[in-house]
């Protein structure tokens, strides 16, 4: 993985604020994402010195940390063999408390920090950014239609070599969209292009992480049809989705796939219209309901044992988007079972 210059700036600025606030020695000892083992990559390694003790952290750099991407960040840190640290432009007080509760070390560019490595303990929160534009808009590649193209590519190995028209159909986007997304993927170092039928998607692990981080805030809200409530809370356990154009996602899909998680939120992906589905299952609109229905945003089918589930990548993303510790653990299981063989790169 190649760490970008803006990520280096975030790290250097965060370390500078950390040194200023704590008077501790803190420095980068390794850049450029050297593999900790044959599979997982970090953005950098930092060393913090306190008295005669040296603390080393494998760093994951994020622009901004919201509740929707806590799960993504924690999952990535869990892949490191060394102790992981989250470095961001800004961590607000609520997110700081969440990370502390999960014992996730972090520092940001405005002086917030949490480290609990006895006898060293640091917890600084409440520092706010002066620059109101600190939260940047994502590149167009990681906005809704771009995310749909990337999703189709990640779920269909080798699709990058197909004609743009086929990619557009599987991504459910306009043909013109595919061209500029493929251009951006080349420019960002995710696509090698040696000819019309000799393209190869690379750094897929990093692309996966960026997709999962962007999905909850950029694409998922736009595909949300609504929240609902059922007269019978166990309605989902007895229906057969194979007869209708809907698929299980989120916690229900994870439960079916792993038998590890008891669903609290019922997630359904469907093609419009859904009136018949709602009527048949007696689902009523309710802003606080425990059923969420989203629109299917892809145009390919899966050759899977569980063909009533959304693709594993989307189950994984749905779970991490909750920021819930039990879902993050289940997401890890799904990653190891279903995704790692496609995205780990030595």
- DSSP line for 97-159: HHHHHTT--EEETTS-EEEEETTEEEEE-----S-GGGSPPPPGGGSHHHHHHHHHHHHSTTG
d(CA 191, CA 188): 8
Position 131 confidence tier, pLDDT thresholds 50, 70, 90? low
Over range 110-116, report the average pLDDT.
96
What digits encode the pLDDT tens for the residues 49-59? 999 999 999 99
Q: Sort residue 220 into left (φ over 0), alpha (ψ -120 to 50) or beta.
A: alpha
Over range 136-157, report the average pLDDT.
89
What digits encode the pLDDT tens for the residues 286-345? 999 999 999 999 999 876 667 889 999 999 999 999 888 889 889 999 999 999 888 765
Among 32-36, 176-180, 330-334, where is mean pLDDT lowest?
32-36
Over range 25-49, report the average pLDDT.
74
Q: What is the pLDDT of residue 135?
A: 55
Q: What is the pLDDT of residue 287?
A: 93
Position 77 confidence tier, pLDDT thresholds 50, 70, 90? confident
Q: What is the pLDDT of residue 32?
A: 58
Architecture, CATH, for domain 140-213: Orthogonal Bundle (1.10)
Q: What is the pLDDT of residue 1?
A: 43
Q: What is the pLDDT of residue 132?
A: 56
Closest by alpha carbon to 331, among 221, 225, 208, 222? Answer: 208
Higher per-residue confidence, 235 vs 139: 235
- pTM for the full predicted model: 0.78
At the topology level of CATH, where does 220-343 sit?
Answer: Beta Polymerase; domain 2 (3.30.460)
Q: What is the pLDDT of residue 66?
A: 78
What digits encode the pLDDT tens for the residues 198-212? 899 998 988 998 899
Over range 116-124, report the average pLDDT.
95
Among 23-27, 128-132, 231-235, where is mean pLDDT lowest?
128-132
How many angstroms separate the first and last alpha carbons of the chain?
Answer: 11
Q: What is the pLDDT of residue 270?
A: 94
Domain boundaries, the chain: 5-134, 140-213, 220-343
Phi, psi of 324 (to 5 degrees): -85, 130
- Mean residue pLDDT of the chain comes to 88
Among 125-139, 157-171, 257-271, where is mean pLDDT lowest?
125-139
For residue 284, the SS3 value is: strand
Over range 81-86, report the average pLDDT.
88
With pLDDT > 70 as the criterion, what percentage of the chain qualifies? 91
212 with 72: CB under 8 angstroms? yes
Q: What is the pLDDT of residue 233?
A: 84
The first and second tokens of residue 278, run together, are 């709602």
206 with 1: CB under 8 angstroms? yes
pLDDT at 145 over 60: yes
pLDDT at 98 over 70: yes
With pLDDT > 90 as the criterion, what percentage of the chain qualifies? 60
Q: What is the pLDDT of residue 40?
A: 58
Phi, psi of 121 (to 5 degrees): -140, 125
């Amino acid at each position: 993985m190649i760490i970008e210059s803006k990520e280096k700036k975030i790290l250097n600025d965060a370390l500078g604020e950390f040194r200023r606030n704590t008077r501790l020695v803190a420095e980068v000892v390794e850049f450029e994402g050297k593999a900790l083992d044959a599979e997982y990559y970090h953005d950098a390694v930092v060393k913090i010195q306190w008295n005669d003790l040296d603390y080393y952290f494998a760093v994951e750099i994020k622009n901004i940390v919201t509740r929707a991407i806590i799960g993504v960040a924690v999952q990535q840190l869990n892949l490191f063999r060394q102790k992981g640290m989250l470095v961001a432009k800004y961590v607000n007080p609520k997110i700081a408390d969440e990370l502390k509760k999960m014992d996730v070390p972090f520092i940001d560019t405005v002086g917030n920090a949490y480290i609990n490595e006895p006898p060293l303990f640091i917890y600084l929160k409440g520092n706010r950014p002066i620059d109101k534009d600190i939260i940047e808009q994502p590149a167009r590649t990681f906005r809704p239609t771009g995310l749909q193209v990337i999703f189709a590519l990640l779920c269909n190995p080798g699709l990058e070599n197909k004609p743009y028209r086929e990619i557009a159909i599987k991504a459910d986007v306009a043909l013109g969209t595919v061209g500029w997304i493929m251009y951006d993927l080349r420019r960002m170092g995710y696509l090698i292009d040696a000819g019309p039928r000799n393209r190869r998607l690379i750094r897929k692990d990093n692309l996966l992480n960026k997709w999962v981080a962007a999905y909850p805030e950029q694409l998922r809200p736009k595909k949300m049809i609504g929240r609902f409530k059922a007269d019978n809370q166990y309605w989902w356990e007895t229906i057969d989705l194979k007869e209708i154009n809907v698929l299980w996602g989120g916690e229900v899909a994870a439960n079916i796939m792993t038998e590890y998680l008891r669903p609290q939120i019922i997630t359904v992906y469907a093609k419009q219209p859904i009136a018949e589905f709602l009527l048949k299952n007696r689902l009523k609109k309710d802003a606080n309901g425990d059923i969420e229905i989203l629109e299917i945003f892809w145009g390919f089918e899966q050759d899977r044992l569980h063909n009533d589930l959304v693709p594993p990548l989307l189950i994984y993303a749905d779970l991490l988007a909750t920021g819930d510790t039990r879902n993050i653990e289940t997401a890890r299981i799904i990653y190891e079972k279903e995704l790692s063989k496609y995205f780990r790169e030595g």
